[in-house]
Structure 1
């Protein structure tokens, strides 16, 4: 636990809570004293993540929701009227296709923006009002270093993450004066199943091996490696320990944005 981050008495809602990064966020926030609500589409994955937290003495609740669907988010909000959510971590998202723009179908493009941008808008729209009434709260949007530098064959993903940075900064200006801090956290490639999938698709597209695709990608970072989920989770806690942080984007990419 970060000794400077005490979240006792606060309830944190994490979307994409059943995935590796969502689990890491939930575990770190729970260790810091927060009650956590894990939200996602995979009920079994959510239940497993919550069980691990409760086994370690934390408080966890799960709720199934498709954040890209307005009716699903409305149902989630109604389901959680008994909760005082003061920390929203918008982590849910999809990687999208790995192919040249001219080969991407409109439905593929729309699916990425629905999850990565509309989902954040819908969740903020649903859970901001109580924070504004209370005059305090935190929203952290999980963006990506890919929203700040080119990533070939991933146009819908990079465009969606650039859009998320704009959403974050603008919303921070809207609600900051009312006591709600909105920031974004931009990880570099996080080691795990999603990046393994991307490396396999890149290998198929370019004719290299997945291992070569990973080495090439990691070589673009100043530290020459991917980042780990627990490193990103620790960065989230560090952000919450900085009460003056608002409208900011924190880069945690092992130096992926550093010039080559």
Structure 2
């Protein structure tokens, strides 16, 4: 167990999936946490189960909405020490020539631009106190090619460049910036991705799952709790000199097909 006592954390897309587990883990470690999410149903469920964590609705595609919600969360928390940029979507599973500009733009906006929107609001607060930790969610697709998922891969590679540049820019203010690169994570989104891949390739979902796991050295899926535990560690005093890193948690994904 790590301690995040007296830390104040914002988790984007924090009402479901990986974000939900991250928010609960940070809170369990002692942090005061606020989350935002686009889904009203997820927010309601999250609020009922986690009454000590305040949740806000926000469409991360809207820069003005992100600024407003970020400032509201920071006011509620009486400051901010940790930002977890978790919001993301899978995007289309198609050959590149079949992807529409709208599908490309949405995938990049949610997976990359939204991280910029949150950072530009939160960073001035971190600079004033000369401390903080930013975690940007990338993916194993942020270091490997990903055929038929080009907008997703392009955005996740962009997250790496954004992270490493921010780490250089903010280091003198004692602000640490790191990327976390999950592999194949158990959950609804991965189930949908596998179903779309099976459809595209004309194979069964069972065959698509087998193909997914054979390219992972440890031949296993990642549990969201593993990702949350890594984030809590990096944001704690135990990770006080970890910055500018791309931290893979993927069972060593060798290739993505």
Same fold judged by TM-score > 0.5? Answer: yes
Partner of 1:185: helix, strand, or coil? strand
What residue in structure 1 maps to residue 128 of structure 2? 133
Matched, 1:68 2:51: no
- The one-character-per-residue Cα deviations of 1:187-225 (angstroms, maximum 9, x if unpaired) are 001011111001111111111111211110111000011
Q: Judge conservation of contact 1:139–1:183 (CA < 8 Å) in 2.
A: yes
Q: Judge conservation of contact 1:222–1:258 (CA < 8 Å) in 2.
A: no
What residue in structure 2 maps to residue 149 of structure 1? 144
RMSD: 1.4
1: CA distance, partners of 2:185 / 2:92:
18
2: CA distance, partners of 1:227 / 1:167:
25
What residue in structure 2 maps to residue 120 of structure 1? 115
Task: Tell me by how many angstroms 1:258 deviates.
Answer: 7.3
Within 5 Å, give how 1:163-242 maps onto structure 2.
163-240=158-235, 241-242=238-239
Gaps of 5+ in 2: none
Q: Judge conservation of contact 1:199–1:211 (CA < 8 Å) in 2.
A: no
- The one-character-per-residue Cα deviations of 1:47-73 (angstroms, maximum 9, x if unpaired) are 32233234xxxx310111112211111
Gaps of 5+ in 1: none
Q: Judge conservation of contact 1:12–1:36 (CA < 8 Å) in 2.
A: yes
Task: Tell me by how many angstroms 1:18 deviates.
Answer: 1.7
Q: 2:18 aligns with which of 18, 21, 42?
A: 21
Q: Judge conservation of contact 1:11–1:87 (CA < 8 Å) in 2.
A: yes
| Runs of 4+ in structure 1 over 6 Å off | none
Partner of 2:81: helix, strand, or coil? strand
State the TM-score, normalized to the length of structure 2: 0.94
2: CA distance, partners of 1:210 / 1:235:
30
Q: Judge conservation of contact 1:38–1:50 (CA < 8 Å) in 2.
A: no
2: CA distance, partners of 1:247 / 1:101:
31
Q: Judge conservation of contact 1:145–1:257 (CA < 8 Å) in 2.
A: no
Task: Tell me by how many angstroms 1:14 deviates.
Answer: 0.4
1: CA distance, partners of 2:134 / 2:44:
24
